[in-house]
């Protein structure tokens, strides 16, 4: 029987989900976890797909470790827990093209790509969806640069490490970009809070408002109070007419 799991590389822990799948197979759960952690130790800090093939008769098993998903590899490269909630607006990281080549080489056998260039373009596409810049630029613009031949040298020679100077420049660039994003985000949050406060104040200050909208079909309190006062002059006029 085969059991498929997604585990933290080198840090699989016992839990209800794991026990539910492995427990009934009659194998030592503690040993399985230790073996999986040993097999995935090189992927620490990354979610890793694992397949455990158990022989029901002998209770022996084999562990097959697949490479992490592209998004997991990219997040590991940049030390990210998650991608951007608004990838077109807010960026969460800045990766070098060389490291994109490295990720593409790692995943190439599992990608629907005919060659490394095509694989790299798939990785770039994932950068777009996660909100990751490449070489200080929008990832979608890097795709155009690849087509234009700008990165032919890096692709042909499979260069996977940027120079120290380039790394420093990229870190400096993103530090500034991140600070600008934080200012924009803070201003948006303050504007939203002010708008909500204004709406609340308007609702409270509205005539006859008790903080809740009147029930449908119920006349406003102001109209009810006005009705009896309007009939007083009419009664006075009738009394005067009888006297005459």
Rounded CA gap, 96 and 151, in Å? 12
Same domain, 98 and 160: yes
Q: For 58-99, what is each residue's pLDDT tens digit?
A: 989 999 998 889 999 999 999 999 999 999 999 999 999 999
pTM tops 0.75, yes or no:
no
β-strand 132-134 against 47-54: which pairing, if any?
A: unpaired
Same domain, 91 and 55: no
Q: What is the mean pLDDT of the chain?
A: 86
Supply angle C-alpha 178, 70, 10, rounded to 5.
95
Same domain, 78 and 178: yes
Rounded CA gap, 15 and 67, in Å? 23
Q: For 129-161, what is each residue's pLDDT tens digit?
A: 999 999 999 999 999 999 999 999 999 999 999
Rounded CA gap, 62 and 51, in Å? 8
Q: Is residue 213 part of a domain?
A: no
Same domain, 43 and 77: no
Split into its structural domains, the chain has a count of: 2
β-strand 93-95 against 47-54: which pairing, if any?
A: unpaired
**Mean pLDDT on 4-26:** 87
């Amino acid at each position: 029987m085969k059991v498929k799991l997604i585990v933290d590389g080198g840090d699989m822990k016992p839990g209800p989900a794991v026990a539910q799948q492995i427990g009934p197979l009659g194998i030592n759960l503690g040993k399985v976890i230790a073996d999986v952690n040993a097999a995935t130790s090189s992927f620490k800090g990354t979610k890793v797909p694992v397949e455990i093939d158990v022989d029901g008769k002998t209770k022996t098993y084999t562990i097959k470790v697949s490479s992490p998903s592209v998004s997991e590899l990219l997040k590991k490269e940049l030390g990210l827990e998650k991608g951007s909630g608004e990838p077109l607006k807010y960026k969460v990281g800045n990766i070098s093209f060389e490291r994109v080549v490295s990720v593409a080489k790692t995943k190439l056998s599992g990608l629907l790509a005919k060659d490394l260039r095509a694989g790299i373009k798939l990785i770039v596409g994932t950068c777009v969806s996660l909100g990751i810049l490449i070489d200080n630029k929008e990832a979608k613009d890097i795709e155009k640069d690849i087509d234009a031949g700008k990165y032919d040298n890096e692709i042909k020679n499979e260069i996977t490490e940027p120079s120290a100077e380039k790394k420093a420049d990229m870190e400096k660039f993103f530090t500034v970009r991140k600070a600008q994003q934080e200012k924009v985000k803070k201003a948006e949050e303050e504007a939203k809070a002010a708008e909500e406060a204004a709406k609340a104040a308007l609702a409270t200050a509205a005539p006859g408002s008790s903080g809740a909208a009147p029930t449908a079909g119920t006349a406003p309190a102001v109209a009810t109070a006005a009705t009896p006062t309007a009939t007083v002059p009419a009664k006075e006029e009738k009394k005067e007419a009888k006297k005459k």
